Amino acid sequence: MPLKTILITGYANGSYGNYLAKEYLWGSIRITFLPLDVTDRYSIENAYRSIIQGSGGKLDIIFHPATFRNMGMAIESSHITPMLLVPLS
C-alpha cells in the first residue's frame, strides 16, 4: 500500500496538530516540515507546490485543526481520538 500524503497545519507546541503527529504518525512515516501561514495566499501556494513536488503530485488528506489548542489538558490525551481526518478522493 503506497504511503499517504497528509498535510497537518498548526504544528506549534501544544497544538492538536502537534499531538496528532506525535501520537499517530511520528516514527511510522517520513515527515517534512514546511513553513505555512494560512492567512497568506503566497505562503499557501508555496507550501502546496512543495507538497505536490515532494509527493509525486498527490495530497491524500488535509487536517486543519485551527480551532484546537491545548490550553492544559482537561482529560488524559489517551482518550482523544482524531475525528476530523477526511480522505480526499
Express each pLDDT in 37-88 by its tens digit.
878 888 888 888 888 888 888 888 777 766 555 555 554 555 545 444 445 5
On the CB side of 36, how many CA atoms lie within 13 Å of its CA? 20
Looking at per-residue pLDDT, the higher value among 49 and 8 belongs to 49
For residue 81, what is its C-alpha cell? 481520538
Long-range contacts of 34-41 (CB under 8 A, 24+ apart): 36/9, 38/9, 38/64, 38/66
Q: Is residue 36 part of a domain?
A: yes
Q: pLDDT value at position 26?
A: 62
Show the domain range for 27.
6-63
Q: What would the mean pLDDT of 11-24 be, rounded to a whole number?
A: 67
For residue 24, what is its C-alpha cell? 499517530
Q: Is residue 85 part of a domain?
A: no
pLDDT at 89 over 50: no
Distances (CA, A) of 55 to 2, 11, 62, 68: 11, 20, 14, 27
Q: Is residue 82 part of a domain?
A: no
d(CA 30, CA 12): 19
Work out how many domains the chain is built from and give that number.
1
Q: Is residue 72 part of a domain?
A: no
